[in-house]
Structure 1
Amino acid sequence: MSKYPANVFVDYIDQTTIAIFGKKQDVRYSLTLDNMSSNSEYYASVLLMHPSAANRHTSDALTNQLIRFLSKKDYQEITILTYFPYKVAIAEELYHLISESTLAEVLRKNHKAIRQQIKRSTVFILAWGDRPTYIPKKQFDYALRLFKNMVIEEKCQHKIHLFTYSHADSLSVSGQPANPYRKYIETIEPFDIAAIREEKS
């Protein structure tokens, strides 16, 4: 775990704990940080695949990487969201959580959080990366379709962006928005959401 950069604090974290399969499961819908070095009122959101370890008190390498880059770009509010909001110690646990039909309400609340941030944000950056094998293709494709429909319904295509990297492409080999972990972020650029396709079977 890491400390948050000195210029930011956690303004709001939408997190809860549910009981599933006889044990407690943490769910994080959103993490919003305030960049104290900015008065711009520009709001940036980043959509990842699933939550990192960051919480109210401690951060992690990826979250701090996003904070440092977006702070330098003068975004006053930075919100991190995910397709699948379950915080797990072992990533493979996501397969059962995402496939569990009784947790449909969790995903509905997560979709609502994403929609709210699409409308609120100045820029909305896609960075979820390739679908790992422990995330079912059916649920991943559904989440992708739902997100694309949200953007269209809210008329927010102009807000959609990708990171550009030094020595790495903005899109993965399979055509998904590349995750910034262990990459040097150069800037962000507008992106046509229609260019993202579901995986071939």
Structure 2
Amino acid sequence: MHPMIITDEPGICPICHMDLTPMKAETGGVVETSVEQKIKYWQAPMDPTYLRDEPGKSPMGMDLIPIYEDQATGGSMISIDPTTIQNMGVRTAGVVRSNLSRSIRTVGLVDYEEPKQYVVNTKIAGWVEKLYVAETGQQVKKGQKLLEIYSPELVTAQQELLLARDNYNALKQSSFAYISDSARRLLDSSRKRLQLW
């Protein structure tokens, strides 16, 4: 965990108190660039942003570790054995500029656009005489006929309106005001009942 701690015999790391692991000469390691190392600053082992000029404790209660001049400037080099690189599965490639694209095959569900769907319910009893739009998904235009409905109730209401209109036309010139008024009220109520359907 702390590669700067190197001893000739087995022991315990003075920083994290873990057992030191043996290091084989052929596996690489830290290659020193100078024999005499000078400490540049002290750093917390778990927080590389916590730096001090002298040894001490980190906010986590751990001893600060020394950072040498060559480590701070990138003067030391770490080498890794090719066998270890192979075992780790490390892959390298040259830097290239290219477009990133990937095809993704997936399953989807095509559905109707809800704001463009309409459900029409009739307020009258009857049956469909003729259907002009008979397929799901068939496109329709504004004002296009969709179906023809026959309703005995609607036919009766229409006939009542026509009779009320004829009655009003015949009685509107009556000398009795209440007769012409009642004929007009009958016409209005017949028209309103038909409009509500």
TM-score by length of 1: 0.16
Structure ID, larger Rg:
2
Higher relative contact order, structure no. (Cα contacts within 8 Å, ≥ 6 residues apart)? 1
